Copies of this chain bind each other. A is one copy, B any other.
Amino acid sequence: MSKLRVAILGFGTVGQGVYRILNERQHEIEEATGYVVEVVKILVKDPTKKRPATRGVVFIDTMEAIWSDPKIDVIFEAIVGEEPARSYLSKAINKRIHVVTANKEMFAKHGEDLLQQAQLHNVQVGYEATTAGGVPIIRTITNLQPTDSIRSIRGILNGTSNYILTKMREEGVPFKAALHEAQTLGYAEADPTDDISGRDAFRKLMILSALAFGEQPNWSDVPVAGITNVMTDDVNAAAKAKLRYRHIAEIIKDEKGHIQGVVKPTLIGPDHPLYAVDGVENAIIIDTVHLGLLTLIGPGAGMYPTGSAMVGDFLHIIGKSSKVLVRQ
């Protein structure tokens, strides 16, 4: 059976998720693809750190070990921040290595360039995990596109904000206590600024805009409000009126072709499809010409949801690119 050799950049929650799924589902992946997949190199900050057993893997702390290896077929990128992630992926694409990324910060800004570059080099870029974690929103929109036209996309794209709003409503706790609980449970980052300011949801919205409409609005034209100004009293008063706050990001292409986005807390009632979406879940409503509304709801983060989104991209790439992958 042919072998595929892959590298993972970053070994935090997401990188470990990819590694575990590739190992735990080895048999199923072989059956589905005909390939034995081997994780050969993992980029980390400190290769000497003690880690769970990872048979056959070499931990590295510089990309040289990857660039000098002519037999890496696919790179999984699970690091945080724009750089050096963008440079790594750009170089990988130039070397005709397929890439799969979960890096929303990087991809919101540089995704369109990377995709163009990839097309030029006949390489695939998977980015399902950048937006809404385990919810297959990128694949679903991609599949719809040749037969349908998207009018708008709106949804809950930041699970941390939704978790905090849910806690505030269910337990009457103030924002700070709910945030603290989100951090304790590992839902929010040590620095949760991007989550609660709406910046994280905004980035995902820009990724969806580029995919659905082929372009993004000017970032400075999109009003972005987070949940920091939602008070416990507001939440309680709303709950009494059977209303709920949801942090909703929305992007619309109007009839003149203008793209307009907005990110803000919004009050909704029991008949709204996002009313029942509590906790860390993400939810996206796509409005298309042929389907009307299509709604997807599921886990927006987590080791296994995000990992399986990335491995799903990988399997899609293998299916699309068997010729590119079979190296001499």
Contacts and interface: CB of A to CB of B under 8 A. Distances in A.
A208 B59 CA distance: 42
A173 interface: no
Interface string A299-328: 100001101100110011001100000000
Interface string A259-297: 000000000001111011110000000000111111111
B145 A32 contact: yes
B294 A298 contact: yes
B136 A140 contact: yes
B290 A32 contact: no
A33 B275 contact: no
Interface residues of A, number: 48
B271 A29 contact: no
A212 B301 CA distance: 24
Given A270-B275, A275-B276, A276-B275, A308 B290 contact: yes
Nearest to A311: B147
Contacts of A312: 143-144, 147
Contact of A33 (B146, B277, B298): B146
A308 B291 contact: yes
Contacts of A272: 276
Contacts of A234: none
Interface of A: 21, 25, 28-29, 31-33, 134-136, 139-140, 143-148, 242, 270-273, 275-278, 289-299, 304-305, 307-308, 311-312, 315-316, 319-320
